[in-house]
């Protein structure tokens, strides 16, 4: 078998890249470890930046997003018994975010790929990347009990944090940067009306909480929990009671509770692998970087990587420009590190680090620093503008002129 671009992973990165390349006539095949249903069953991101909305429109898969997604012009931070509204649209000159779940984005992309008759090998095992430094790399994998070999020009490693692609870059070449946080997020999905029309990020002395949503009838909530916690240790009622303790009183008083349809704990980590390319292999999205979800950046940074790789490969195949290939990693990392810093900063400001010392400061001292930071950036319009600019997403980086 041969294709132009082999894509490892059918999460949002792989599917979006495949769709964009296909619209430019660039042949691609996706190799995915799990089943399509399993991929759809993962409940993850909920907020899309302007750049991702535009990319989904360019990919021709935005119809349901336009119908079912909700434009949000603001977001709230609640702390020290006050609620601060960050007016995203006013502070950024009109930029907004879209609330539309990653599951729906994945569903739209899967449907478009299937309708276009593009090849996706689900439930593939023993995926291995070969000769990535040569001009003729290839991928081997097992599918339906048969070993397969896919010849290609380039490989896009869109296989997430636990994938095989990053491991294909020799350790001597890779530099990995990491911060693991001493807590996780317990997420709950319920078919109940959201408690508020905008997202509320809550900092309390009991820990962080986030009130989000998927639609007017489906809510998504998160609680900061210790790393030792397990989702099965939390009954729905325990979750709702604790959420009420962390929401602002007026908001908690109107919380509609109901049975959970999903409950899971996600660990929080900041992680970046440099470089994001090696020979004909490009790392995309979570395969290269992870952020704590406090800044709603994970899925959105994956999208900006996809945009850059799509532009590079389109230039290669349509203009024969090989020069731009070497720009990929540097261009992606400039925006990735901005997203990493914002997510780390929001996590430090909004969470309770308990008695864990941070950056050499004991927890009480660190807490004082962070409270001052939160007040400084929310008390002034300039400070709120800095938060708003990052939250809606910084502009995508252009390729330098070839």
Summarize as ranges the residues that interact with ligand FAS (CB under 6 A): 8-14, 31-34, 39, 44-46, 102, 124, 127, 158-160, 162-164, 266, 285-286, 293, 296-299, 302
Pick 150 or 350: Cβ nearer ligand PHB: 350
Backbone torsions φ then ψ of 30, nearest 5 degrees: -105, 135
Pick 33 or 220: Cβ nearer ligand PHB: 220
Pick 49 or 153: Cβ nearer ligand PHB: 49
From the list ligand PHB, ligand FAS, none, pick the one residue 266 interacts with, judged by a Cβ distance below 5 to 8 Å according to partner type. ligand FAS
From the list ligand FAS, ligand PHB, none, pick the one residue 294 interacts with, judged by a Cβ distance below 5 to 8 Å according to partner type. ligand PHB
From the list ligand FAS, ligand PHB, none, pick the one residue 9 interacts with, judged by a Cβ distance below 5 to 8 Å according to partner type. ligand FAS
Helices (H), 273-297: none
Handedness of CA 163, 24, 41, 65 (dihedral sign): positive
* Residue 170 CA: distances (Å) to CA of 17, 93, 273: 25, 45, 12
Give catalytic status of residue 293 as yes or no: yes
Catalytic site residue from 221, 293, 317, 377: 293
Q: Residue 4 Cβ, how far from ligand PHB at the closest point, in Å? A: 34
Beta strands in 350-401 (DSSP E): none
Catalytic site residue from 12, 72, 137, 222: 72
CA 239, CA 250: separation in Å to the nearest integer? 18
Give catalytic status of residue 197 as yes or no: no
Q: Residue 16 Cβ, how far from ligand FAS at the closest point, in Å? A: 8
Inter-axis angle of helices 50-58 and 12-23, nearest 10: 50
Pick 47 or 109: Cβ nearer ligand PHB: 47
Q: What is the DSSP string of 205-257?
A: TTEEEEEEEEETTEEEEEEEE-TT--GGG--HHHHHHHHHHHS-HHHHTTPPP
Backbone torsions φ then ψ of 272, nearest 5 degrees: -140, 135
Pick 1 or 256: Cβ nearer ligand PHB: 256
From the list ligand FAS, ligand PHB, none, pick the one residue 158 interacts with, judged by a Cβ distance below 5 to 8 Å according to partner type. ligand FAS
Backbone torsions φ then ψ of 354, nearest 5 degrees: 60, -130
Give catalytic status of residue 162 as yes or no: no
Q: Residue 352 Cβ, how far from ligand FAS at the closest point, in Å? A: 19
Residues tagged active-site: 72, 201, 293, 297, 391
């Amino acid at each position: 078998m041969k294709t132009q671009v082999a894509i490892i992973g059918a999460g949002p990165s792989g599917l979006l890249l495949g769709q964009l390349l296909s619209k430019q006539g660039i042949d691609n095949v996706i190799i995915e470890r799990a089943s399509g249903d399993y991929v759809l069953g993962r409940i993850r991101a909920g907020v899309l930046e302007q750049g991702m909305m535009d990319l989904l429109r360019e990919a021709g898969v935005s119809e349901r997003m336009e119908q079912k997604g909700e434009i949000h012009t603001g977001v709230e931070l609640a702390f020290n018994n006050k609620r601060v509204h960050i007016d995203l649209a006013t502070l950024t000159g009109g930029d907004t975010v879209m609330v539309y779940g990653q599951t729906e984005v994945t569903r739209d992309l899967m449907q478009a790929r299937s309708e276009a008759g593009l090849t996706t090998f689900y439930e593939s095992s023993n995926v291995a990347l070969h000769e990535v430094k040569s001009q003729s790399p290839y991928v081997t994998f097992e599918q339906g009990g048969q070993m397969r070999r896919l010849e290609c020009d380039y490989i896009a490693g869109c296989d997430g944090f636990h994938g095989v692609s990053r491991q294909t870059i020799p350790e001597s070449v890779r530099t990995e940067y990491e911060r693991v946080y001493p807590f996780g997020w317990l997420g709950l999905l319920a078919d109940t009306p959201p408690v508020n029309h905008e997202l509320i990020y809550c900092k309390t002395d009991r820990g962080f909480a986030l009130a989000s949503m998927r639609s007017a009838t489906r809510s998504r909530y998160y609680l900061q929990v210790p790393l030792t916690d397990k989702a099965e240790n939390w009954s729905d009622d325990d979750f709702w009671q604790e959420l009420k303790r962390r929401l602002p009183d007026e908001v908690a008083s109107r919380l509609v509770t109901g049975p959970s349809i999903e409950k899971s704990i996600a660990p929080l980590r900041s992680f970046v692998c440099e470089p994001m390319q090696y020979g004909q292999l490009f790392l995309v999205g979570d395969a290269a970087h992870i952020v704590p979800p406090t800044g709603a950046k994970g899925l959105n940074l994956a999208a900006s990587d996809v945009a850059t790789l799509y532009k590079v490969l389109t230039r290669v195949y349509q203009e024969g420009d090989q020069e731009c290939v070497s720009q990929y990693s540097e261009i992606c990392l400039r925006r990735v590190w901005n997203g990493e810093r914002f997510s780390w900063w929001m996590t430090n400001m909004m969470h309770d680090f308990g008695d864990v010392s941070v950056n050499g400061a004991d927890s009480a001292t660190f807490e004082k620093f962070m409270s001052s930071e939160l007040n400084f950036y929310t008390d002034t319009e300039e400070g709120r503008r800095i938060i708003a600019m990052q939250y809606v997403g910084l502009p995508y980086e252009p390729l330098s002129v070839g």
